[in-house]
Amino acid sequence: MARGEAEACCLIQAVATKLLARPGHPVLTQDYLERTQLHRQHVDFFDDGHHHLGKLWAGSGLLARTLDVVTGPRRLDWALVDVEASRQASNQVPAREFWRATPNIHPTMSLAPYGEPLRQSTAAEALNTFKSGQIAYKVGATSGATVGEYSNYRSVVFMDHDSHVAQSHTNEDVSRSPTFEHVFIAGNGAIKPFATHGDCGAVVFDEEGQVVGLVFGGRTPEQTGLGAVVLVSPIEDVFRSIKEISRNTIKDVRIAL
């Protein structure tokens, strides 16, 4: 019997055993115990308050836009949270060993500040100075460490929720108008996209460890050959919006060390 046939037979036998098993059978008992344990872990996670991120101070809402008359409006999607100590992480660029052990990172990457804190960009509008093909990095909650390339194609974006927001807002022109976003694609040699579902809010930084933006969305455009594209808000837009929404009671926003 070929190996593939043997594996198929074993799988069929395992399924048949579960189907024919009566209450109290070891197979069902073990399966039940595993499911119960997993459910208990999920319940304990919430009961112990681990799902609580922190106190929300302010947020951009769904209609916030920049007023860039040159490149067009860009979306703003941020929340200002006083994060609980147990949920805080380091703002450091991962160490060299971390990147070497990450299979989707191209071996020719030239990230300089291994293990050092992320820094404020020295450029006034850092993302606006990026050239096509320029490299950036991020460490996301879902996809982990990835490398991306800046695309010179600005993405004209309508979000799925725009039409619903328009129905409940007096300024329908704002909620139904497109925005023009900065785009990153998977870096040359990378084996997975720059970001995926669950990575929104991840910090995007350049080869010098300077923060240039935040991931806020993505899509797979048709008839372009680009694959999945990731939408990134310039960090200056976010900081400026925080000050404006606070009515300038917040005077300074910077990258925490």
Whether residue 186 is contained in a domain is answered as yes
Instruction: Provide the residue type at 103 as one letter.
Output: P
Residue 153's pLDDT band (cuts 50, 70, 90)? confident
Residue 107: pLDDT over 80: no
Q: Are 250 and 239 in contact (CB under 8 A)?
A: no
Whether residue 240 is contained in a domain is answered as yes
Note the pLDDT tens digit of each residue in 49-77: 777 889 999 999 877 888 877 788 899 99
Residue 10's pLDDT band (cuts 50, 70, 90)? low
Residue 85's pLDDT band (cuts 50, 70, 90)? confident
The tally of domains found in the chain comes to 1
> What is the pLDDT, as a whole number, of residue 227?
63
CA distances, 39 to each of 26, 28, 33, 36, 159 (Å): 20, 16, 10, 5, 34
Note the pLDDT tens digit of each residue in 220-237: 766 555 568 899 999 999
Lowest mean pLDDT among 99-113, 173-187, 232-246: 99-113
Residue 87's pLDDT band (cuts 50, 70, 90)? confident
Whether residue 14 is contained in a domain is answered as no
Of 248, 237, 241, nearest to 214 (Cα)? Answer: 237
Tally helices (H) and strands (E) across the chain.
6, 9
Please tell me whether residue 46 adopts helix, strand or coil conformation.
Answer: helix
Whether residue 20 is contained in a domain is answered as no
Polymer length in residues for the chain: 257
Whether residue 224 is contained in a domain is answered as yes
Which residue range is the domain that position 196 belongs to?
A: 30-246
Report the mean per-residue pLDDT for the chain.
78
Specify the CATH number for the domain of residue 187: 2.40.10.10
> What is the pLDDT, as a whole number, of residue 146?
86
Whether residue 218 is contained in a domain is answered as yes
Whether residue 198 is contained in a domain is answered as yes
Whether residue 13 is contained in a domain is answered as no
Sole residue written with tokens 């115990």? 33
- As given in the structure block, the two tokens for residue 184 are 């990153």
Q: Which residue has the higher pLDDT, 174 or 200?
A: 200
